[in-house]
Amino acid sequence: MVKRIEKKLQQAAYEEALLIAEMLLDGRKTKEAFAKEQAKERLENFKDPLTTLFNRNFFDQVVRLMITLARRHQEPLTFLMLDLDNFKGINDQFGHLVGDRVLAGLGKIVKESIRVSDIASRYGGEEIAILLPVTQEKAAEEVARRLLRNIADKEFKVKGKKIRMTASIGFASLEEKMKLQDLINHADKALYQAKKLGKNRFEKYG
């Protein structure tokens, strides 16, 4: 799913750049080479440079498509909202550069913990939004457990000190006639409940 979406985005950018190349190039490059460069650059604009996950702009565009496809094919879709626990304390104690290292590490952990068909985006700050297509609640729970375990197991070394992080996750499943904002709100409420109940855990809505 992710690869198909990336391919469509890159193809659209390629075709647009091809037209520009025909008008602007003076022979130093072929129009195909120029178009490929522009297509790659366009795709990079959808990536968060720190975590290397997709960015919020990509999420906002793709989530509606994912919902449409899930309903068209009558397939389940589960949405996870992940938030690092006590991340402000890391920034306050060690500085934002260390905080950035932790977020970069988080991005790598998330990528390694989900399928290639899943879509993970940096939603804001230390929040990660994850779309799990064709995924029932039981399978989503396994993903959430794996994410929590892999994050808690990661050790960061800073100035001779070892830092470990935990995260909380809330998730919700797409229901019939549910609006996008309802899906996000439900996951947010479940995340709040996970924080309230002690953090380093996941909760599902409902």
The DSSP element (H or E) to which 81 belongs, if any, is strand 77-84
Burial of 152 (0-12, 13-18, 19+ CB in 10 A): middle
Positive or negative, the CA dihedral 29, 27, 7, 55 is positive
> Which has the closest alpha carbon to 117: 101, 135, 92?
135
- The catalytically annotated residue of 112, 126, 141, 175 is 126
8 Å CB contact between 147 and 205: no
- Kindly give the residue spans of alpha helices, DSSP state H, lying in the chain: 2-24, 31-44, 56-72, 87-94, 96-113, 137-153, 180-196
Angle between helices 2-24 and 31-44 (to 10 degrees): 130
- Write the single-letter amino acid at 17: A
Query: Catalytic site residue 126?
Result: yes
> Which has the closest alpha carbon to 38: 54, 56, 65, 19?
19
Cα-based distances in Å from 26 to 37, 41, 52, 118, 123 = 16, 21, 34, 42, 41
Query: What are the catalytic residues?
Result: 126
